[in-house]
Amino acid sequence: MASVLVQLVVPCICVTLASFCWTAHASDPDILFDYIVPQNTIISTLDGSFFTFTGMRGIFDSPTPPNVKGTQASMVEFPALNGQSVSMAVLQLAPGGINAPHSRPQATGCLFLVEGSLEVGFIDTTNKLYTQTLQAGDMFIFPKSLINYQYNANANKTAIAIAAFGSAKGGFVSIPATLFEDGIDDNILAKSLKTDVATIKQIKAGLASFCWMAKASDPDILFDFIVPANTNITELDGMFFTYTGMRGIFDSPTPPNYKGTQASLEEFPALNGQSVSIAVLQFSPCGINPPHTRPRSTGLLFVVEGCLEVGFVDTTNKLYTQSLQAGDMFVFPKGLIHYQYNANEKEPATAVAAFGSANSGSVSVPTTLFETGIDEEILAKAFKTDVATIEKIKAGLAPKS
Ligand SMILES: *[C@@H]1O[C@H](CO)[C@@H](O)[C@H](O)[C@H]1NC(C)=O
Ligand SMILES: *[C@@H]1O[C@H](CO)[C@@H](O)[C@H](O)[C@H]1NC(C)=O
């Protein structure tokens, strides 16, 4: 046990940064362990609650805060995210509310608008502005480090969005705060902005300080974003960074058993190289997402509606389980076998999952084992059973006509 403890508490400076390929297969750096626990943690006492974040409970039912409020679940609030290269935030914008120009130095943001409408935009390094008007269900990419904003132009309706980041700590640099609240000389600011010192002082007086943290880093691509071959860059606009395939998903009838709807590299090419993606998971009563792995990324699951029983098995074969309520989050470390199950016999459940990779992949354990032609004798030996039992399992998994 002592050696396990030593392995697991090695801080993140020991993480090996593998070389990063920015073309089709963007991959995030690996930690050398299943997860990283805070120092002095006694591993034998670790259970599912370490991998659970309850700080978002009730957030969708709470009254709209004035202007804008961002509630983060990064490794600061949720230490289990350390080394997992994924985090989330909920953004609430009151009617007329604005999330002033800012950048996230450590991560691309994938914004998923759950309610209302939103004007969004970012500026690339050629100073080209990309804008879009989002409806509920739309997603928009804000490439890493680029200055961006969100504005709720609707005078009557609150806008609510879930943002996924491909880093455990996306960082946050407010442009107004950076310029006007970090002690840059008034004269320099006045000259930079071609105005006078009185105007600068007036701006400073009006700003309230608003800043999150900035540290930890995922690998970089060498460009703001990657476009498909033969794209005419001059014609590129906000539409390329928008994914509309999720519109209406929260209003659609619950599919039988389980359905996962992905917005990854394949469905949403703008994610290429951005190390982030999202999926919506819908469970009918008693629906199950059977044991599977995500070979290329940790999953951060956010239960939006209903309850879910979840679990994963680490490489020491220890099972971590948790009963999640709406508003809870749970971490499934990269590559480990995990499942979700809606134990409720009457109510459906819905979750949004964020991944720290544009292409997290999914390997279903039942399918991989029993539906890919592995010799039945081999399976029978592996499971210490007989061929008839394997055939029975296979028949049960086969699509029903
Ligand atoms: C917002 O509410 C006002 C006053 O009730 C109304 O006049 C206006 O049409 C509404 N606007 C929208 C976009 O619904
Ligand atoms: C790219 O688009 C611009 C604007 O539509 C056009 O003027 C230009 O000729 C196009 N370039 C190529 C290589 O097609």
Protein residue with least CA distance to atom 10, ligand 2: 232
- Cα–Cα dist 270/268, whole Å: 6
pLDDT at residue 197, as a whole number: 80
Q: Looking at the CA of 155, which ligand is closest?
A: 1
Residues 67 and 213 in one domain: yes
Query: What is the 154 CA–ligand 1 centroid distance (Å)?
Result: 9
Query: What is the 121 CA–ligand 2 centroid distance (Å)?
Result: 23
pLDDT at residue 297, as a whole number: 86
Alpha-carbon distances of 81 from 44, 169, 284, 330, rounded to whole Å: 19, 9, 29, 10
pLDDT at residue 184, as a whole number: 73
- pTM equals 0.78
Which numbered atom of ligand 2 lies nearest the CA of 232?
A: 1
Length of the chain: 401
Residues 381 and 239 in one domain: no
- Cα–Cα dist 260/1, whole Å: 38
Is residue 268 in a domain?
A: no
Query: What is the 142 CA–ligand 2 centroid distance (Å)?
Result: 25
- Cα–Cα dist 320/341, whole Å: 14
- Cα–Cα dist 169/158, whole Å: 26
Q: Burial level of 29, CB count in 10 A (0-12/13-18/19+)? A: middle
CATH number for the domain including 88? 2.60.120.10
C-alpha closest to that of 135 among 59, 14, 268, 246: 246
Instruction: Identify the DSSP state of 296.
Output: T
User: In terms of residue numbers, what domain contains 392?
Assistant: 371-401
Query: What is the 194 CA–ligand 1 centroid distance (Å)?
Result: 38
240: tokens are 């390329």
Residues 90 and 238 in one domain: yes
| 154 Cβ closer than 6 Å to some ligand 1 atom | yes
Is residue 227 in a domain?
A: yes
C-alpha closest to that of 353 among 295, 278, 288, 249: 278
Residue with tokens 């930890």: 216
Phi, psi of 237 (to 5 degrees): -140, -170
pLDDT at residue 92, as a whole number: 95
Is residue 119 in a domain?
A: yes
Domain termination residue (choose one: 243, 268, 295): 243
Is residue 287 in a domain?
A: no
Residue with tokens 């209903």: 306
CB-defined site of ligand 2, < 6 Å: 232, 234-235
3-state DSSP helix/strand/coil % of the chain, to nearest 5: 20, 30, 50
Domain total in the chain:
2
Residues 233 and 377 in one domain: no
Domain termination residue (choose one: 243, 269, 291): 243
Is residue 172 in a domain?
A: yes
Is residue 104 in a domain?
A: yes
pLDDT at residue 390, as a whole number: 87
Is residue 256 in a domain?
A: no
Residue with tokens 């033969």: 230
Q: Looking at the CA of 235, which ligand is closest?
A: 2
Residues whose CB falls within 8 Å of the CB of residue 61, separated by 6 or more in sequence, listed in order:
none
- Cα–Cα dist 185/182, whole Å: 9
- Cα–Cα dist 331/351, whole Å: 13
pLDDT at residue 320, as a whole number: 93
Residues whose CB falls within 8 Å of the CB of residue 81, separated by 6 or more in sequence, listed in order:
73, 74, 75, 87, 168, 169, 300, 331
- Cα–Cα dist 59/157, whole Å: 16
Is 273:22 a contact under the CB 8 Å cutoff? yes
Residues 99 and 236 in one domain: yes
Strands (E) in 143-298, as ranges, are 147-151, 159-165, 173-174, 242-243, 258-263, 277-283, 288-293
Query: What is the 94 CA–ligand 1 centroid distance (Å)?
Result: 14
Domain termination residue (choose one: 192, 208, 243): 243
Residue pLDDT tens, the chain, 401 long: 333 333 333 332 222 222 222 333 334 456 677 888 887 888 888 999 999 999 999 998 888 888 899 999 998 899 999 888 899 999 999 999 988 888 887 788 999 999 999 999 988 888 888 999 999 999 999 988 888 889 999 989 999 999 999 888 777 777 777 667 666 778 777 777 777 787 777 777 766 433 232 223 334 567 788 888 888 989 999 999 999 999 999 988 889 999 999 999 999 999 988 889 999 999 999 999 988 988 888 999 999 999 999 999 888 888 999 999 999 999 999 888 899 999 999 999 999 999 988 888 888 888 888 888 788 888 888 888 888 888 888 888 887 65
Is residue 5 in a domain?
A: no
Report the 10 Å Cβ neighbour count for 133: 12
